[in-house]
Structure formats: structure tokens, C-alpha cells
Structure 1
Amino acid sequence: MSQQFQPPAPDSYTAAPAPAPARRGGVGLGILAAVVAALVAAGAYGGIMNAIDRQVGYAAFGVGLLVGLAAGKVGGRNPALPVVSAILSIGAVYLGQLFFIALALADYAHIGLSDVLSDPGIGGLNDIWKESAEAMDYLFLGIGGFVAFGAAKKVSD
């Protein structure tokens, strides 16, 4: 006589425990991480522009991605973080463009970067940026902000 398989009774199954919620640092730490990421990305963006002597959209995309990921991963799900990361990313792309101008001036004048930053200061670099800004400069600002907003929103979900 063959025995047939008998499944266990439904009451003998135990439910799997619910996954633990992801602990995130909160909005303050998310903003702090985004600020640090924005400053690092601005320096890298300006350095890349100086190395290749032009702007590229991928670099502005990278700035936004870095800032948005930092804010979303560390800060968690807060509706303010995508907006803050977009603003910080726009600022980071702008600072990167200023850093590029400062590096170009230092190379052209054969002086140190600290001399460029201390002599005309940021105001002088801003004046140069305003005079030389083109539509692409503004487009790259927008790309950085757009990508940062989306990345912060996506990562926090």
C-alpha cells in the first residue's frame, strides 16, 4: 500500500516576521549629507571642466545624482528633501562653474588658486560668470536640480 503525501494543516504554518523598517538619520542629517555631497561635487565638477576645458551634461547629471542620493539615503522619506537637494544641486553646479573660472584664471595668469580666490573674491568670479553665461550654463543648472530631485525622491521610496 502506498502512502500519499498529506500537506500539514493550515494552522501549523507561522507567518514570516515583518521586515524591520529602514532606519534613516532624519531630515537634518539628510540635509547635512546633501550639503557635503554638494561641496564635493562642486569641486569635482569644476575640476572636470578644467581638465577637459568645457562643460558636459553628464557631469551636471552626476552632481545632481550625488546630491540627491546622499539626501535620500541618509534623510529617508521626507517631502522636503527632494526640494532641498534640487536647490543644493543647482548651487553645486553653479559653484563648480565658478571654480572652473577660478582655475582657468589661475592657469592663464600663472598664479595660485588662492590668489585668484582672494583678489577678486567670489564677487569677481560671479561677475565673470554673469558676463560669460550662455543658455547651456543655465541648462546644466537645471539638469543638476532635476536629477537631484528625482534621485532623492526615488531613493527614499
Structure 2
Amino acid sequence: MTQNFQPPAPASYTPAPAPAPARGGNIGLGIAAAVGAALVLAAVYGAVIGTTKYEIGYAAVAVGAVIGLAAGKVGGRNPVLPVLSVLLALAAVLGGQMFGLAMIVADQNSVSTTDVLNLGVSLLFEGWKENADPMTFLFFAIGGYAAFQTARKTAH
């Protein structure tokens, strides 16, 4: 008995889908996220300084790292974002220190922090300069470095 032998049907295959386009991020959203983080972190850092009456240098590093994280995760690999993160981190640390100083001065004089802030930033800055020491500037540098590296390394 002979059977009719038929060759197997050619295997059908589904081609692999095209790879997803590389996500470049959104620089506008990255900038907005970094600015928002800087504003919030400046207030938080200032409140920590104002309530403890101490400048906590490692908090400056955390401020830089979180700002860099926000910029890198949201904004992607745009080379502007790490540099912007450094500038925002420095501004946030300085703003936090100034806000903390305003809280301390307000507490010492039994007035509100708003009253001290209304006297003018130039007076606060003069007081800040009198109290700044080399460690202040070292933590500025480390906070800026943390912002740059975090933004660069977390970008996708």
C-alpha cells in the first residue's frame, strides 16, 4: 500500500515588530520637573535649617540629587539638563539656606518669617555671607556635582 506523500507546508512566520523609537525625553517637561523640585526642596531644606538651627550639608547633596533625578527621568538625555540641574541645585541650596536663616532670625526676634523676608533679600544675604564658611561652599560643590551626575545617569 502506498500512501501519497505530501511535503509539509512551508512554515509561516510573523516578522518581528519594528523596534520602538528611542525615547528622547521632553526637555520642557524635564525643565519644569527640575524647577518644581528645586522650589519644593529649597523650602524643605530651609525649614530643616530653620527648625534645627543647623546647616546640614548632606541635605544639600540630597537636594542636588533629587533635582538631577527629576530632570533626567522626565527630560531624557538632553545635554542641557545636567547643566541646568547644577544651576538649579545651587539656587535651591542657597534659597534654602536663606529661608532657614530668615526663620532663625524671626525666631530670635519674635516676629514672623514673612516679616523678615519682607525686609529684603540683601540683608539676609549679608547675614548669610557672614556665616558662610569653607564647608558651606564644599557642600555647594558636592550638591552641584550630585545634580549633574544624577541627571546624566538617570536619563533614559
Residues 10 and 136 (structure 1), Cα distance of their counterparts in 2 relative to 1, 3 Å cut:
farther
Contact 2:49–2:101 (8 Å) recurs in 1: no
Q: Which residue of 1 aligns with 2:35?
A: 35
Q: How big is the shift at 1:144?
A: 1.3
**1:55 corresponds to 2:55:** yes
Contact 1:64–1:89 (8 Å) recurs in 2: yes
Is the deviation greater in 52-61 or in 13-22? 13-22
Q: How big is the shift at 1:70?
A: 1.1
Q: Distance in 1 between matches of 2:140 and 2:42?
A: 12
Contact 2:24–2:78 (8 Å) recurs in 1: no
Residues 23 and 83 (structure 1), Cα distance of their counterparts in 2 relative to 1, 3 Å cut:
closer
**1:137 corresponds to 2:144:** no
Q: Which residue of 2 aligns with 1:102?
A: 102
> Which letter maps to 1:36?
G
Report which of the two structures shows the higher radius of gyration computed on alpha carbons: 2
Gaps of 5+ in 2: 1-9
Q: Distance in 2 between matches of 1:141 and 1:10?
A: 64
Q: How big is the shift at 1:28?
A: 2.3
**1:72 corresponds to 2:53:** no
Q: Which residue of 2 aligns with 1:6?
A: none
SS in structure 2 of the partner of residue 78 of structure 1 = coil
Q: How big is the shift at 1:49?
A: 1.6
> Which letter maps to 2:130?
E
Q: How big is the shift at 1:27?
A: 1.8
Q: What's the Cα RMSD here?
A: 2.0
Q: How big is the shift at 1:11?
A: 7.6
Q: Distance in 1 between matches of 2:139 and 2:45?
A: 11
Contact 1:49–1:55 (8 Å) recurs in 2: yes
Q: How big is the shift at 1:116?
A: 0.3
SS in structure 1 of the partner of residue 77 of structure 2 = coil
Q: Which residue of 2 aligns with 1:18?
A: 19
**1:127 corresponds to 2:149:** no
Contact 1:57–1:143 (8 Å) recurs in 2: no
Pairs aligned (count): 147
| Alignment deviations for residues 53-80 of structure 1 (CA, whole Å, 9 cap, x no partner) | 2122321121011111111122111011
Contact 2:63–2:92 (8 Å) recurs in 1: yes
Gaps of 5+ in 1: 1-8
